[in-house]
Structure formats: structure tokens, C-alpha cells
Structure 1
Amino acid sequence: MTQDPAFTGPFSAPSRRDLMAGGAAVVGALAAGQASAQPAAPTKARWRRWNVASPEGKRALASYARAIDIMLKLPPEHPYNWYNHALTHTVDCPHGNWWFVVWHRGYVGWFEQVVRKLSGDNSFAFPYWDWTANPQVPAEMFQGVLNPSTYPGYIQSLDAFNKTFGPVLEKFWAGLSNDQNQQLLIRGLRFPADLIFDIGPKGGPMFFAPPNSRGSTPQRPGFDDVTNRAVSSWMLDNALAPRDFIGFASPKSQFHSSITGFGVMEGQPHNKVHNCVGGIWTAPDGKTTYGDGFMQSNLSPVDPLFFLHHANIDRIWDVWTRKQQGYGYPTLPDDNPNYLNPRGDLGQWRAEPFLFFRDSDGKPLPAAQQVAGAYETIGAFDYDYQPGSGENVVPPPRPGPKLKAAVAAKPQLFTAKLKVPSPASLASGDVAVPQALLSQAAKTGGPKLLATLTVELPPFEHGHDLAVVVNTPESEAVGVNSPGFVTTLSMFGQHLVTRPVTFTVPISPPLAKLATAKGLSAAAPSSGLNIRLMRLKPPLLSNAASSHDHGAPSGATRAEPELLGVEVHAY
């Protein structure tokens, strides 16, 4: 069901005269086909998403800036008011599950058409920020309306935001369809006051007033060390290694507002770029400062960087899809109906309702475009990408007939024997990986080892990153540049976690670093792998007046994170 078209709240349809004239493509109906390799996309799309560093990407930024300036000036009840559109992400975005990539493709794709219309640039497509090739905020994003910390057109205080959007949200809630209301109830949003509370300082914070609307600055446009690792070429190669959709896109869930876990791509570059640009900064000694910035929150689309970041995430999904097609591997969840789940994984995934998207006129979408399956391919959004980082995994075209769909060879699987916590570790596990495999994995171009840790987190623990280290004695001090340091486990946004969550991280590159620093025997001992979960340093707050750490108040819970399992997959 769609929202009542007569309603004029934040997610309603405006009259055509409210929007500037321009063309708009319409996404087609559900894509048919199997879970196996899909037909290759047309070689030339109508629109191209360019690297923001290219001349074409910079020209697209100018059109983007024109559109943002218009949207900031629209009435607050207008569906394409800049903050109104960001609220779609706040109330409905999935993170930590297998709908993460497909929901954001629809969200960015429909909004791209709005920017095309409002800017008057019919050639517009979102430029992407290739943070692997350029690990710092592009200089242009600190200029004019592209910088929410300095441009006067942004709302200047939380109080002003609440006064402006409180009445708008009341009208929005009054116009919800029953299905939309049920979706919000799943997220614990009963009425507007719940959302206002979540956005405010006690529930979030999600709103960050200028001059603290973005953590990154012209003086410090780059990333901290853990984020540099997260966007590195070796991390990207490992993120693209899985041969099945769930391994790449994050784990299964029953509904798209539930967090179950993070694949390498979502848990590392996606989450860490959001958090670092949003003001969360980890020093080399492990101390973390929790500063301010929209990008760390579920209101992250208020920062124009959001759409450049997510264009790159979508580009990486496209790279992975073309890799799968090149090898004849599946590109979608398994088509495996059974008596417990008659639809199977593919049917369940395709049918998930996305009820808050709007077309380029601000109108509710037809039913066929209110489900995940409408966005499983780029489809009638009809864009492609200027090649960027990660293309090395796509096999070159081969002569002769195309490969038939193949069942991806399952990776080798090794399960850890868990050990009790110690003063130096929250928990650890020993994994009996053969020494010969470890030796090969520690070499450039060797097998890729991905470890999946299942962790039970206290409700607010996600504000404090936990570190993963491999084959490092407990007596040895560990920092983010230590040879055995793997990465930290980062959540994103203000999603409450009440169940075990999985994190998948790459192990092979740290093993290679260990082999260089301490010798191959340290990286590939006969005993196999020891994987530890630990805290590097307690959180360090930025200042007493305005700091926040996304953690529970003292006394709210005394629970500690618990490691429930470790599995290692070898690709």
C-alpha cells in the first residue's frame, strides 16, 4: 500500500508546479529471472556516474549544488525539502542485513532523478567518491552548499529543527497507511515524539548544528588509521571475494529493520567512512574521540557527502555482480524454496516491502516498485559507472559462448574452539587452519581468509569499537598499526541491538604483515590461528559540554560483549 496521495506531509506528493520541469526515468517492474548469473547490463547506459575527481564528476557536483540550494529553500512540508528527504533514511533504512545494498540503490536512484530535475541538468548522475583511490574528502565538498558546517542555508540548531519539523511529522503520521505504520512500529516509532526523541541528544544524537555538522574539515580531510585500512585496496579485494550474495551483501534477516550482521563491505568501508567523516576518530594508540557530524547518524543524508559515498557502495555492488557474471556465479540470493520457507531466500528477499520511496514528482510508487526485487538490477535507472577501484576482480571478456550459471564452489570452513575471557581479551578462539593454507594465505595473491565473529553486544555497546587481533600474544601491547591487528568492529547509526551480531573481517593481510614483521612461523604456526576480541583503549570523549559516546549511561547495564563463535572461510 502507498500513503494517501492527498496527504501533504514529509513523504507526500507535491503538485507538479512545485517542482522544476524536467524528464525522469521510471524504474521498471520486478526483474524476472533466477538467483544465478543475470544478463549483462547494456554496454552503454543513458547516464554515467563519474568519479568525483574527474572533470565530468566536478561538473556534476555543480549541478548537485544547485539542486541542494533549491531543496534547502523548499517549505518544510515539501517532500523534497532537503531534510524531509533525509528523514526517509532515518525512518526506513536497513543496515546490517541483506537488504542494505538494494534499499540504498532505490533510495539514491530515485533521488538522483529529483536532482536531475531540480538542477535543470538532464545529464546529471551522482558522482561517486572512490575513497580507495582518494582516501580523503574531496576539496570541493568543503565549498558552499556542499559543506553543511559552514553554509548558512542549513538549519542552525536542534531547537529550530524540532520547531520546524514537529508539526510536519504530526501530519505525516496522520497520513500513514496501515502497512507504513506497521513498518515504523517494528522500529519502535509509535508516534512523532519517538522520532523527535531519537533525533535529539538523549536518544541520538542524530542532529548536528553548524559549525559541527561534519567531522572532517579542510584542515583534516583525511581518515584515521582504522578507516584507511577499511578503504584500502586489500580490504576492497577481500570484500569482493565472496562468491555468494549473502557473503558479499551482509547476512540474512527476517525484515529489513533488523540487524543480524555485517559483511566486509558494509562493516568496514561503509561503516567506517560514515563514522570517521562523522567525527569519530581513532588515534594510533587506540583512543577514540567521539566528535560531531551527520554522517555518523541515521540523518546522514543531510550531509551531501552521503550520496557520493553510497554511489561508490553501489558501484562496488555492480563490480561484484559483474565479477560473478564473468565466472558464471550467482548474483542474487539462492532460489531454494522448501516447506519451511516456500518462497525460498530469493522470493523472501525480493518481496520485502520498501514503502517510503517516492518518484521524481514526489508521488507514491506503484506496488511493483515498493519491493526489494524492483532494485536487484540497475534496470531503468539506466546508469553505469566510470571504472574505478576493484575492477581488477572482474574477469576479461572471454571468446565463445557465455559461461552458464554455475554453483559457486563453497569455501573451506574452519570453526574455532572458544577460550574463556582473560584480562587482555574479551574472548578468543583457536582455529585449526592447516599450516600449509596459512602459509599460502600470508603471501601476496594467496587464498583469502575471512573470519566471521558472532558477538553478543550489550544494547549500547556499539558505540565503542572492539578490536580483532590474530596470532598475537596476550602479553604484547596492541595498537592499530601492530602486525597482528586486523581491524575494529564498527556499527553505524543509532540502531538498537538486542541479539547476537556477526562481523566478517579479512585475516590474510594481517597474516602477511605478521610474516614480514616476525617471520612466517608467527603468521602460520602449526597450531593454526588464534583470533582475539579485545578493547584497545577506553573511549575518550571530545569535551564535557557537547561530547557523546553513543554508550549507555553509567549503571544502565553492566553487561560485557561476549564472543559466541568464530568461523574462518578460505576463498
Structure 2
Amino acid sequence: MTQDPAASRLFSAPSRRDLMAGAAAVAGAMAAGQVLAQPAAPKKARWRRWNVASPQGQKALASYAKAVEIMLKLPPEHPNNWYNHALTHTVDCPHGNWWFVVWHRGYVGWFEQTVRQLSGDPDFAFPYWDWTASPKVPAAMFEGVLNPNNSAYIQSLDAFNKAFGPVLEKFWAGLSQAQNQQLLIRGLRFPADLLFDIGPKGGPMFFAPPNARGSTPQNPGFDTITNNAVSSWMLNDALSPRDFIGFASPKSNYHSSITGFGVMEGQPHNKVHNCVGGIWTDDQGNTTYGDGFMQSNLSPVDPLFFLHHANIDRIWDVWTRKQQGFGYPTLPADNPSYVDPKGDLVRWQSEPFLFFTDAGGAPLPPEKQKAKAYQTIGEFDYDYEPGSGENVVPKLGAPKLKAAAAPTRYAAKLKTPTGTSLGAGDVAVPAAVLAQAAKPEGTSLLATITVDLPPFEHGGDLAVVLNTPEGQPVTPASPGFVTTLSMFGRHLVTRPVTFTVPLSPPLAKLAKARGTLEAAAPSGLNIRLVRLSGKPLLTETPHAHHADAGATTATPQVLDIVINAN
């Protein structure tokens, strides 16, 4: 965390990557007004982020562990104390909106420089955990300080509050007006609000050893729902959108609000966090809620966080190179209008990120406090060892497409909720489209479901089921089961939220189970939202600076279902 957003230090000239992007030729006809970065001849970056399973990735883990051990020993008031870096995420991280990928690129990128400096390893870059190829926690992450259950970590919430209560008081006293406004958006008026949120009644966000991580050496893998979320078919669907908002998550007015979740954020990102954090759904649909930092906004206390988010950033890089290869947009549209003179691109680039620090814990200059600074890898100057998802990137020299064709949209006719459904809708999708969607490498069907959620709907995942009769029991093994809609963290929900989920693989599964002609009703698709078993995460009454009258008794309502066919 840092208080003062002003800083006088100078930064280096643009990297080779920036210069290449700026000089790249524009190829093909672009979507109207969109400025695109085009691919240039590949050059080696200064640093490489390796797969954690590789020898180079294991070597990076040793340097990482060395730095973590140093940071855990630093006094609480030191800016590079391990928990201070995690608290930056707690007070400022965006989830459920179009700043999710860009904020986390900046957060991980600056912290990578801190680890590089403290470890004494000039070649350090975060290894990434390719959970599609290896859907279990890497064995080395259970060793030493890479395991948050290690004795070097704070052993109780009381000890955490005692150590960081004075630190937060000093932090709040040094806030700039702009920083204070950012915290007020989250309902954080003073340190007591944050400590309440972290504690058991507001969160919990803090998990003491031996319960600091849900995954164990004896059970390092995922439940069925999370295995589906990290599968190659889910990853391919996450990479399929041809526009930035479709890939990154929906637009929002500011980065501390939740608007919705694209496939990539809502499925592999959220579900890996929650499963490793102790939230487990068995094959009968019963959910148990264990402990673990990864399920909360204090998730960076678990060193696994940075391997997880290195992979999320890698997937963004894969998607960007796919877009460049086909001549598609890589950023939000440059579309100023009389309604919004800035347009999507400038509004997205201008969003303030005011709490990042450099490798020494010092505040950043103004130009590094906006989203635009992290729209490319830029001065971080790393690249990735190839991993899952590279199959979507066209080969060099592949022909450019003239424009990103807009998907065909099919709107649902909503139905009255029943005793077994929170909401349902019939979607008239042509039989030919459904037949193509049920084939491998066929049409990609993505359903965007808009749900009005209670403010504290963070547990009891809602399940999406396809062409399944009312009253029929639903489990993750059911032929019509699609996935669940998972939240992450303790963000307050104050407006309807959209979730985008892939329908093509579940449709193919249904077709295999029933026969192709029986996979869909003559009218098209029926999509329902139902509850799986389990208890909600939040059982205490929320604190007054967040709660509205009746907020804790509201029932989720389905407001809209739209299917996009690519």
C-alpha cells in the first residue's frame, strides 16, 4: 500500500516491445474507429515467465521462496512486508468488470520487480501455473514459505489485527483525497471498516494456519466443477470472443464495482480461487465451505495467487496475439459520441490505479497510475513459455480478416420462476445452429445471463442447466448441467450482474446422452437457473456501512438471457 500518489522518480524510455507495437503496420480493414496494435517480428523479451512445471519454473520458485521469507520477516510498517502487498489487493482490486485483467497485470508486474530485487535473482519472473494442463496445486507450493500454513505466517486474526491496526491508522492518515474517494466507493471509511471486513463477521478474509489453504498435499486437485472450468474446451470458449469486453468482462463506470463476468474471469479465475480456498462441491451437488485465503480478497497472502494470476495474464496475452493475428481489435473501441465524449477506449485507459508501488515500496508517478500504463506488457518486458490455449493463435503469415463479424444474438423469452427454478427462459435458436454447436470445432454458443443478486450473494452457487425438465434433480454429473455462476471475494453487489457461460460443449454432451435430434426442444433451448446444495458463506449480519434494508433476505432474480453464436 502507498499513501501519496505523487512521486519524482523518472522511468525508462519505452521498451522494445512498445516501439515495435507503435511501428507495426495496420493490416486489413478494422472495426470503425478502433486503433489496433499489429504484430511485429517477434523479439526476445528481457524476462520469460516459465511454466512452473519446467526446470526454469522450479528455479524461479526457489528465488520466490527466498523473497517471501524476507518479506514475512519485515516489520509490519515496511512497505514490502508480505501482508502489506496483499492489503493493496484487498483495498483496490477490481473483479467483475473490464479492468480486471489490466489492474492485475500492473499489480503482479510491480510485485514481480519487488521479488526480483529482494531475492537477488536478476532473471526472476513469476512462473505460471497452467491449470488446464495440470489441474492440481503444484507440489512445490506445499513446501516451506510457499505454503501459507508455514509457521513464518501470522498465526491468528488477533495477532494480525494487533500488528496491522497501527499500520492502517498511519496509512489512512496519509491518504490523498483521490485515494480516499477510491476507498469510499468500497464503503471503507476508516481502518475499523477494513478490519471488520477482514474479520469473521464481515468476511472472513483472514485464515489462520493450519487452515490458510483449502487444498492439501493429500488432495491437491479440483472438484468436478472446477475441473470443467479449467478444461481445454472452457479455455477455448474463453478465448473465442472477438472484442475486448467480450473477453475481459463487461463495462463498468469504475473499477470497484461489479458488472459481470466473462467466461475467463467467471469460470477458471473464480473457480480456481474458490476451490483452492476451500470451497468444494461434490458430484451430488453438495457444497462445503472450508477455509483458505484464496477464496477472499486477501488471497495474495497465499503465494499461489501470483502463479494463478500469471496464468490469467498469459491467457490475456494469448488472446491479444490471436486478435492481432486475425486483425481484430485488442482494446476497447475508440468510439466517442455525444452520449460519451470520451468513448470506451479513453474511459478505460483513464481509470485511476492509485495504490501500486515500485520495487522499493515507493509511490509511482502519475502516468503509471492509470489503466493505460498496463494495456500492453510494456516496460515489464516479459513473455511466456507457450502453454495451453496457443492453438487459437494463427500462424505467422495467416491472412487477415477484414473485420470481426458480430455474433448472432438470440434473446430468451423468460418464464415465471417455479419451486425448483430461480428463473428460466426459452431461446429460439435455429436447429441448424444447434446442430453445428453440438459438433467439435463447431459454432460457439455463449449465454449471457443477467441476474439481480442480493448484495451478499457469495455462496450457494447458482447452477445453469440446459433442456432439463422442471423438478428433475440436478448435479454436476447431469447431462444438462452447464456450470455454476461463481462470485469471488467479498465485493458488495449493488446492481444486476451478468455471467457469460459456454453452451456448446454441454449441448454436445446432451446430444450424446439423448441423441442429436433430442438435444434441443423444437423451440430451441431452455435454460434454467437453480440452486445446488450448500450453505451461504456469509451467516452474520453485515455491518451498517454496507447494508440496506431487506438486503439479506432478497432472492436472486433472472432478468435476461441472451445467446451469442460465433
| TM-score, structure 2 normalization | 0.93
The whole-number CA distance in structure 2 between the counterparts of 1:174 and 1:168 is 10
Is contact 2:447–2:561 with CA below 8 Å preserved after alignment?
Answer: yes
AA aligned to 1:213 is A
> Which structure 2 residues correspond to residues 120-159 of structure 1 after superposition, within 5 A?
120-149=120-149, 151-159=150-158
Is contact 1:461–1:551 with CA below 8 Å preserved after alignment?
Answer: no
1:316 aligns with 2:315: yes
The whole-number CA distance in structure 2 between the counterparts of 1:322 and 1:67 is 32
Q: CA deviation at 1:5?
A: 8.2
Q: CA deviation at 1:341?
A: 1.0
What root-mean-square deviation, in Å, do the aligned CA atoms of Structure 1 and Structure 2 show?
2.1
- Cα distance per residue 1:362-396 (max 9 Å; x no partner): 11111111000000000010000000000000011
Tell me what 1:550 maps to. 538
Q: CA deviation at 1:27?
A: 7.6
The whole-number CA distance in structure 1 between the counterparts of 2:331 and 2:524 is 33
Q: CA deviation at 1:423?
A: 1.4
> Which structure 2 residues correspond to residues 97-496 of structure 1 after superposition, within 5 A?
97-149=97-149, 151-398=150-397, 403=400, 406-496=402-492
Tell me what 1:82 maps to. 82
Q: CA deviation at 1:482?
A: 0.9
The whole-number CA distance in structure 2 between the counterparts of 1:556 and 1:368 is 40
How many residues were matched structurally? 544
Please state whether the residue corresponding to 2:521 is helix, strand or coil.
coil
Is contact 1:442–1:515 with CA below 8 Å preserved after alignment?
Answer: yes
Tell me what 1:94 maps to. 94
Tell me what 1:569 maps to. 564
AA aligned to 1:76 is P
Q: CA deviation at 1:234?
A: 0.3
> Which structure 2 residues correspond to residues 13-52 of structure 1 after superposition, within 5 A?
35-40=34-39, 42-52=42-52
- Could you list the runs of 5+ residues in structure 2 that have no partner in the other structure? 24-32, 543-549
- Cα distance per residue 1:16-69 (max 9 Å; x no partner): 9xxxxxxx9788799979844313364310100000000000000000000000
The whole-number CA distance in structure 2 between the counterparts of 1:224 and 1:25 is 45
The whole-number CA distance in structure 2 between the counterparts of 1:186 and 1:353 is 13
Tell me what 2:554 maps to. 559
Tell me what 1:542 maps to. none
Is contact 1:264–1:505 with CA below 8 Å preserved after alignment?
Answer: yes
Is contact 2:80–2:360 with CA below 8 Å preserved after alignment?
Answer: no
Is contact 2:38–2:327 with CA below 8 Å preserved after alignment?
Answer: no
The whole-number CA distance in structure 2 between the counterparts of 1:385 and 1:82 is 26
The whole-number CA distance in structure 2 between the counterparts of 1:247 and 1:537 is 30
Is contact 1:90–1:298 with CA below 8 Å preserved after alignment?
Answer: yes
- Cα distance per residue 1:45-94 (max 9 Å; x no partner): 01000000000000000000000000000111111100000000000000
The whole-number CA distance in structure 2 between the counterparts of 1:157 and 1:291 is 17
Q: Sequence identity of aligned pairs in percent?
A: 74
Distance 1:193-1:435 versus aligned 2 partners, 3 A rule: same
- Cα distance per residue 1:163-221 (max 9 Å; x no partner): 00000000000101111111111111111111010000010000000000000000100
- Cα distance per residue 1:457-496 (max 9 Å; x no partner): 1121222200000011113221101111000000000001
Tell me what 1:58 maps to. 58
The whole-number CA distance in structure 2 between the counterparts of 1:4 and 1:397 is 45
Please state whether the residue corresponding to 1:349 is helix, strand or coil.
helix
Please state whether the residue corresponding to 1:321 is helix, strand or coil.
helix
- Could you list the runs of 5+ residues in structure 1 that have no partner in the other structure? 7-11, 17-23, 540-547
Is contact 2:454–2:551 with CA below 8 Å preserved after alignment?
Answer: no
The whole-number CA distance in structure 2 between the counterparts of 1:553 and 1:159 is 21
Q: CA deviation at 1:425?
A: 0.8
The whole-number CA distance in structure 1 between the counterparts of 2:254 and 2:378 is 24
Tell me what 2:29 maps to. none
> Which structure 2 residues correspond to residues 481-560 of structure 1 after superposition, within 5 A?
481-539=477-535, 549-551=537-539, 557-560=552-555
AA aligned to 1:568 is I
The whole-number CA distance in structure 1 between the counterparts of 2:104 and 2:5 is 24
Q: CA deviation at 1:137?
A: 0.1
Moved more, 315-324 or 468-477: 468-477
| TM-score, structure 1 normalization | 0.92
Please state whether the residue corresponding to 2:130 is helix, strand or coil.
coil
The whole-number CA distance in structure 1 between the counterparts of 2:34 and 2:179 is 28
Moved more, 363-372 or 36-45: 36-45
- Cα distance per residue 1:387-431 (max 9 Å; x no partner): 0000000011116xx848x53110000000000011121110000
Distance 1:433-1:556 versus aligned 2 partners, 3 A rule: closer
Distance 1:173-1:428 versus aligned 2 partners, 3 A rule: same
Is contact 1:452–1:567 with CA below 8 Å preserved after alignment?
Answer: yes
Q: CA deviation at 1:263?
A: 0.1
The whole-number CA distance in structure 1 between the counterparts of 2:233 and 2:35 is 27
Please state whether the residue corresponding to 1:453 is helix, strand or coil.
strand
Please state whether the residue corresponding to 1:429 is helix, strand or coil.
strand
Is contact 1:127–1:308 with CA below 8 Å preserved after alignment?
Answer: yes
